[in-house]
Amino acid sequence: MDVSPFKPSLVKAVFSDVTPMHVSRSAAWAAASVTRTVLTEIIDGARRAAAEEARKKLIPVDLLSAIDRNVELEVGNKWYDHSPTFHGSTGVLYDAEGVIVPSRKRSRSRKPSAVVGAHRFEAGVKKLLRRQGVTAVPAMVRDLDGIASVFLTDLARDAAMVVREGGGKRFGTATLVMSGEPAPPPFLDDSLRALSTRRGDGRTIGRDDVLAATTMQLFGANLRHRALTEAREAAQNTSAG
């Protein structure tokens, strides 16, 4: 398994933007691994789309194609409101009265946020691109940065909520099943079974809290299974080292 290019220091910086809780070392490595897995799958889908046109440089349309082909890759949705790539593809939103909801204006606030801090992911994204033998135009790199930043920020919020609520038993999971395909077997392991009765203090986010947050963020069974498996391995290897 490749080491995540998103270092624990970056993970802890993102977590600190949304919660004052301490983040354990194993939790930081698990979150870094999950983010790596998600971005790797997105880049792989975009790479396949570009390969059909004999290109090795990814462009934004390849990102849209990857998501269209595999809905499991639709993560970090809050970034879509800020990226020209997704303008016109997310549809028109209406409120309860049937009035069109205007699109969000770009914020000039310096307050830490997933959008403002997206540039922090650029180095890691470029490493993942190189691992798959491709490059990307600046707009595509920005989209990948933004999706990674929003995804990890949402993961941090959910992990903190799991700690506050004392476990993951009240948070259900959904399994995506494509038409005509059999449902995949449920992914269960000791760490996820234990989430219903969380152990540990209420001030520290641990590895299992990140795993619980992952099950909440990733609704696709295949991607979720891969992310959880690799995150557990990453955390275990770190503990062993």
Q: pLDDT tens digits, residue range 144-174? A: 999 999 999 999 999 999 998 876 554 444 4
Query: Which tokens in the block code for residue 218?
Result: 């990733």
Q: What confidence score (pLDDT) does residue 154 get?
A: 97
Q: How far is CA 237 from CA 150, 208, 213, 241, in A?
A: 26, 15, 21, 6
* CA dihedral (192, 195, 200, 202) positive or negative: positive
**Is residue 186 domain-resident?**
no
Query: Which tokens in the block code for residue 185?
Result: 């077997």
- Identify the domain containing residue 64 by its residue range: 8-158+222-236
**Is residue 48 domain-resident?**
yes
**Is residue 163 domain-resident?**
no
**Is residue 216 domain-resident?**
no
**Is residue 20 domain-resident?**
yes
Q: Is the pLDDT of residue 88 over 50?
A: yes
pLDDT digits (tens, 9 = 90+) for 185-237: 444 444 454 454 556 677 899 999 999 999 999 989 999 999 999 999 988 87
Q: How many domains does the chain have?
A: 1
Average pLDDT over residues 52-77: 94
**Is residue 44 domain-resident?**
yes
CB count within 10 Å of CB 202 equals 10
